[in-house]
Structure 1
Amino acid sequence: MSDGSSETVPPAEPAGERDVLRTRLVDLLGCRYPIVQTGMGWVSGANLTAATSAAGGFGILASITMTSDQFADAVRTVKERTDAPFGANFRAGQPDLDERIRFATGEGIRLFSFAGAPTKDAIAKIHDAGGLVMPTVGARRHAEKMAEWGVDAVIAQGGEGGGHTGSVPTSLLLPQVVEAVGDQIPVVGAGGFHSGQGLVAALAYGADGIAMGTRFLLTQESRVPEAIKGDYTKATVFDTVVTTALDGAPQRVIRTELIDGLEKASIVTRMPKAALKALEFRKQTGTSLKELWAEGMAMRKDQDLTWAQLAMAANAPMLIKTALVDGDASVGVLPTGQVTGVIDDLPTVEALLQQLVAEARATLTRLTA
């Protein structure tokens, strides 16, 4: 359990009135602030997740790029550093999902987040084990489908968001999703958020909180190498691009010579390299060839991928690891939200959350004065 050294004193709440920052999301997840740190592959390890939850936000472990043993170690490390609640991120089609659900719920993890849509069966199993489900959606109809299937909350990520993203900006998507499902479940806004003013804007749209990836990547507790963090802070809002060259699906990254080369290369030249990287990813995550094949076939069916896109999809995680873990941006990929163009500092997670909450309360005071 935590020794209390990382705990913080929250900013003063308005006296004699309801605290606007205590939303349905806060009550659902058991955190102090309606701010979620997303489960970024290769980035959201035990250090970042524990720091976020201990400081009052809600941290999510990126189990999707961990072996089962690494995931177990990460969960126990987080629990040693804080008694605050946290979640974990999963792939809908990963072969050992049932085993990880059993382990995670047994360790007291309540929230299971998914970058894509989980199956109805997975949602039911998580609920039966006492867990909560929160997928990320990029369209109103996807939110409606997830609510119909019984998820407990959704993250609505606009086109400004990093990694796989849609084309609708947050300012249009978020109110659409709130209108569609906000009376049933909490809605969390994502894509472009980095400040307390943004948090208030999300609440004004009817959301119950915000989720941030790039802003948490650019903190002191993030495991990303310092030189790579420098590539992010030097980027402008014009230095990101949404490309399909990585895995056939739109993905926002920092534009580099590698990205330019991938976009110009033919699928024929990309395929052999992608297949080799897919096998390397298998070793990194402890996935057997049989499991890799089964997951690939599920992806091909669910996402209507061609064989070429499937090979590229398996390749993408290793290109990202090359940059975010190994620190080589010349042959790696830098997934990012467009918000990287307005971030130029690397605060601690605690300082970041305190700043966001203070900005939010000051904004609310200004608007109601």
Structure 2
Amino acid sequence: MTRIRTPLTEITGVEHPVVQTGMGWVAGPRLVAATAKAGGLGILASATMTLDHLEKAILEVQERTDRPFGVNLRADASDAPARIDLLIRHRVRVASFALAPKPALIDKLKENGVVVMPSVGAAKHARKVASWGADLVMVQGGEGGGHTGPVPTTLLLPSVLDAVDIPVVAAGGFFDGRGLAAALGYGAAGVGMGTRFLLTRDSAVPDSVKQVYLGYGLDGTVVTTKADGMPHRLLRTSYIEGLEHEGRLGRAFRTARRTMAYKRLSSSTWRALLTDGRAMKRDRTWTQTMLAANTPMLLRAGLVEGDTDAGMLASGQVVGMIDDLPSCEELIAGIVADAITHLTAANHAIS
């Protein structure tokens, strides 16, 4: 198979410039290993794992494959240094971050041979992490699922490419070879995809939930702050529609119930939850912070337990373009082959 070499493949050691993003409750060892075996960069989602669970997940991926993979970390978590030590000890190739890690954490990772790839939503944030020593940066446009911003990828990507000299991975709205070819044409080093990898046979999301996703069109998602206090792109389920009309008392009760459930599941202490809450707060109100702390449980209800009536289903707008459930191998091979076809056709158009 013909390969596309970019700074992403050179720096990380993967075969193809395709990244499976670190989706909570979705990006577990099975999906990450399947992505790695197929030549892409699989990213374990660790925010919903305890430290012990993360170590077990890393070891399971390494038992399944000897190819490079990464782990997504919360830079503001109280145990972030311990998680970084774990990555270093087990020689994980890539550390990705949803929030920018401090320069000291970046330095420690790089000194130990770990590639650092933060995700950003604005050019100014890309400039900051680049100046701190990040190896690559991922940008997600507003089309992407989960927490997202208002700027579409077609505008965010070139603004970041103009702002930094390090390689940029484009995410938000990608699902096929045409998208990879377009991203490379912009100057990106590859693409990141979440919803497309969720909808594969290698994803551990229940099949019944996958079928729910496949039933939605391009208008099937909504960006709402009612779920966890921050803009969040989700499937437009009856549960999400109901949140728009929920009163404060009902929301407070639901938040308290989910917080208790998450405490039990994560084995966290109240001190740790409070510490993480303070770090998470930033520009949020305390009400928004409490809602955000409940996000893991709301996502778990839908993506793990399969209860689409009581949980959130994060999704990019690309859900409306997807109608199949390939394996990761079939998906990545098809994307790369299709991208090469489009890149070759574009090259032949130049006279």
The two structures have a TM-score, normalised by structure 1, of 0.92
Contact 1:117 1:146 in 2 (8 A): yes
CA contact (8 A) 2:171 2:191 kept: yes
Instruction: Tell me how far apart the structure 1 counterparts of residues 63 and 344 of structure 2 sit (CA, whole Å).
Output: 38
Q: Secondary structure at the match of 2:288?
A: helix
For the residue of structure 1 that corresponds to 2:345, the secondary structure is helix
Write out aligned runs for 1:1-369 (5 A): 11-12=1-2, 21-181=4-164, 183=165, 185-300=166-281, 303-369=282-348
Displacement after TM superposition at 1:124 (Å): 2.7
In the TM superposition, structure 1's runs of 4+ consecutive aligned residues that sit over 4 Å from their partners are: none
Number of aligned residue pairs: 348
Which segment is superposed worse, 282-291 or 89-98?
282-291
CA shift for structure 1 position 94: 1.2
| Equivalent pair of 1:67/1:284 in contact (CA under 8 Å) | no
Q: Which amino acid aligns with 2:160?
A: V
TM-score (norm 2): 0.96
Could you give the per-residue CA deviations for residues 155-181 of structure 1, whole angstroms, max 9, x where no partner exists? 110000000000000011001101111
Task: Determine if contact 1:40/1:213 at 8 Å carries over to the other structure.
Answer: yes
> Contact 1:58/1:86 (CA < 8 Å) preserved in 2?
yes
Shift of 1:197: 1.0
- Give the deviation of 1:317 after TM superposition: 1.2
- What stretches of structure 2 of length at least 5 have no aligned partner? none
What SS class does the counterpart of residue 219 from structure 2 fall into? coil
* Cα distance between partner residues in 2 of 1:285 and 1:120: 28
Distance in 2 (alpha carbons) for counterparts of 1:44 and 1:152:
22
CA shift, 1:48, in A, is 0.3
Report SS of the residue matched to 1:321: helix
- The 3-state SS of whatever aligns with 1:116 is coil
Choose 272-281 or 222-231, whichever is displaced more: 272-281
Report if the CA contact (8 A) 2:5-2:16 is conserved: yes
Q: RMSD in angstroms over aligned alpha carbons?
A: 1.2
Q: Is the 8 A contact 2:144 2:315 kept in 1?
A: yes
Q: Is the 8 A contact 1:203 1:209 kept in 2?
A: yes
Identity of counterpart residues, as a percentage? 50
- Structure 1 alignment gaps of length 5 or more: 1-10, 14-20
AA partner of residue 34 (structure 2):
A
